[in-house]
Amino acid sequence: MTYAAPPRRATRTGAYERDAEGHLRYVAAEPAEPAPPKDEFVRTGTTSDGAETGVIPAFLIDMALHAAIGATVWHLAAGPIAVIYGILAWLTASFLHRTIVQRLTRTTIGKCSFGLRLRNSDGTYPSLWQLIAQWFRGGWACFDVFGTFS
C-alpha cells in the first residue's frame, strides 16, 4: 500500500488498493457535498461577524448616489431629450458602481459606510460576471415589483 496522494480522478470515481493479504479491492469515492442550485441568490451582504444591520441603508445610499448623478446630468443637459440623458447617466452610474467598482474594491460606497462586503456563501468574492448578472437580476426585479402593483 502506498502513502502517496491519489490522483484527482481517483478521488472522484474511486480507486483500487491492496488489502493486508495483497489482493486488489475497489474502494468507492466518498460522495461530494451537494452544490447549491445555480439560480439561488448566494451572495450575502453581511459584516465579518455575520450581522446584516446596514443592508437597507447601504442600498439607499447607493441608490441616492446613482440618482444624484442622473439628476445632475438631467439638469446640465439642454434640450428636450435631457430626461433621456439623465436616465442613461443614472443607469450607467449604477452599472459601473455596482459591477466594476465593486469588483475592484469588493464594496460600494453605501456598503463601505456600514462595513459591508458582498461575498459568496463560501467566503469567496463574486466574479465580474456574477456581479453583472446580479445587476440585471436587480433591474428585472424592479419591473417585477412594479408589475405586482398594477
Full-prediction pTM beyond 0.75? no
Which residues are CB-contacts of 94 (< 8 A; sequence separation ≥ 6)? 62, 63, 66, 135
For the stretch 9-66, pLDDT in tens is 555 567 777 888 888 887 777 766 665 554 444 555 555 566 666 778 888 999 999 9
- Contact by Cβ (8 Å): 85, 93: no
Domain boundaries, given as residue ranges, for the chain: 54-148
Residues of 53-68 as b/e, b for ≥16 C-beta within 10 angstroms?
Answer: ebbeebbebbeebbee
